Amino acid sequence: MAMTSETSQTIPNRVLGLYDKPFWQLLAETRALHLQRCGSCGAFRYPPGPVCHECLSPDYAWTAVSGGGSIMSWVIFHRQYLDLYPAPYNVVAVRLDEGPIIISNLTGAEPEGSWIDRRVEMVPVPIGAEILPRFALVR
């Protein structure tokens, strides 16, 4: 996976609903991953949304998460669908330490053998004027 900042590129096909926009804005401003945290029960939401799926409270605060997690699964695409992703490229499912799963890419070194349960941390990758959250192995 290309590590360099791809300044002429754009992040493809983001879903940018009312509650998604702050997720990307906060990433671009702070380079840290923020999720909505329920003001009533403390659960984290991803994808962002209008109510807490645990307790149905509408209250929340955008809260920085640690960026740490572990890989649940991974795949290697052998076909190109998007300009930003020439084949082969990987996609990983990461279980964040705060609970939610986030789909992303592993950037940098790849593990030998199974990737499952490998510890990773979020890496903010500039794509054009935006930041895309990817993950790298924790050494």
Partner 1 sequence: MSRTNRKAAVVGVGHTDWVGDWARVRAGENPTDINGYAAFAFIDALKDAGLKRDDIDGLICGPWNPYERMGELLKLNVRWGDNADAVLAVLSAVQAIETGMAEVVALVYGNDQRSVGTQYGGPQAMGGDAFLSYVYHAPWGLTSQGALYALMFQRFRALYGFEESDLGHVAVAQRASAQHNPNAIMQGRPISLEDYLGSRYICEPLHLFDYCLINDGGVALIIAEAERARAITDRPVYIDAVGRYDLNENATTLEPRLTEFYRPAQQKVAEQVFNRAGIGPDDVDVFQVYDSFSVHVPLALEGYGYCPVGGAGKFLRESGIGLDGKLPTNTSGGHLSETYMQGWNHQVEAVRQLRGGCGSRQVEGARYVHYSSDVAGKAMSIIYGN
Residues found near Zn ion in the complex (CB under 5 A): 38, 40-41, 43, 52, 54-55, 57
For the chain, how long is the longest CA-to-CA vector?
Answer: 44
Q: Which of residues 17-36 bind partner 1 (CB under 8 A)?
A: none
Going by C-alpha positions, the residue among 34, 33, 22 that lies closest to residue 120 is 33
Tokens read off for 86: 């020439």
- State the Cα–Cα distance between residues 24 and 93, nearest whole angstrom: 19
* DSSP element (H, E) containing 28: helix 21-30
Q: Tell me whether residue 42 or residue 88 sits nearer to Zn ion (CB atom).
A: 42
Minimum distance from residue 81 beta carbon to partner 1 (Å): 4
The residues binding partner 1 (CB under 8 A) are 11-15, 46-47, 53, 72-79, 81-82, 84-85, 88-89, 91, 93, 100-105, 114, 116, 132, 134
